[in-house]
Structure 1
Amino acid sequence: MEIAYDLAESKACMSIVIRSSVHILTKEMVHLGMVLLKYLPLSFVDSFITLISRFWYVNLAKYGIERPANGPFYIKATQGRSTVIDVGTVKKIKEEEIKEYGYIVNDEGLPKNKFPNHWRGSNGLYCVGFSRRGLAGVSMDAVAIAQDMKLIMGGKKSRY
């Protein structure tokens, strides 16, 4: 989501695909939660931080963003999945500068194209972070996309 935000700030036409439910918090919410976890039970902190998030972001479902049933700190502790820290992306989504599209993924929420060209969608869409290779995979995708964009903007046909 940070990459989408940065590109939208540069006036790129941006869209994102959200494959599963996710908590979106500000860095201040995460910090507050981490401080509270030193003194209060996880279930209370999750409920409190989720309440703050619901108040702050209101209903994100209409933008294709669903919240998980379990709290953000519980998910981190049990599944190792971190919450999304919003740097301004949600505002861009609400203003429709970034749109959520699910049609470039299959029923499992993965790109329709297979690895190693999974990052390349149709109609000028790209997929970052779907390789299931962690941050190294995200980096690989970003480099491939940047190289492809450079070729296209230079008037050359894409290699892919």
Structure 2
Amino acid sequence: MKREVKLYNILLPIWILYFFPQVWFITLPGNLIIDCGVLLITLAVLKHTGKKAVLKQLWWKFWLLGFLADFMGALFLFGFWYLSLLPDPVGSWVDQVLSAAFLNPFRTLSGFLYTLSGVAIVGVCIYFFDKRAMRSCALLDERQRHIIALTMAIVTAPWTFLIPLYAY
């Protein structure tokens, strides 16, 4: 029986995939290349002898779990939007933070911190998801698992959340 692999991660924020579905054609292979590249480079730095075997066992898990982590970060960023529906003064403050965060995170400190917290949430999720995915990989010891998960979390976090949509 053949295992079904679903293809569902740092090139673009996950919410763009909803508004512009054609972006999937760039995001899917781009994230696969980035995830596999980061894993291979990390294994090379660790001087691991079974790079191909580890990559073969983990690539699809890292890829899918990266998309799940991106989705969780997008939920955080969009979930905060509902607070903007509250009456003043909370609603107007949240609305200012959101407009700054989504249009240009560098416009206000609160918008930057809000967007950065979304990136951090995704990074933490990637770390724990990847660490859990590597439990079944007997080719890695605990130190290597920690280093790989931390590297994947830092490098493949969706830093593109911080790219301004407008320059004002």
TM-score bucket of the superposed structures, by smaller chain: under 0.3
Pick the structure with more strand per residue: 1
TM-score scaled by length of structure 2: 0.25
Higher relative contact order (CA 8 A, sep 6+): 2
Pick the structure with more helix per residue: 2
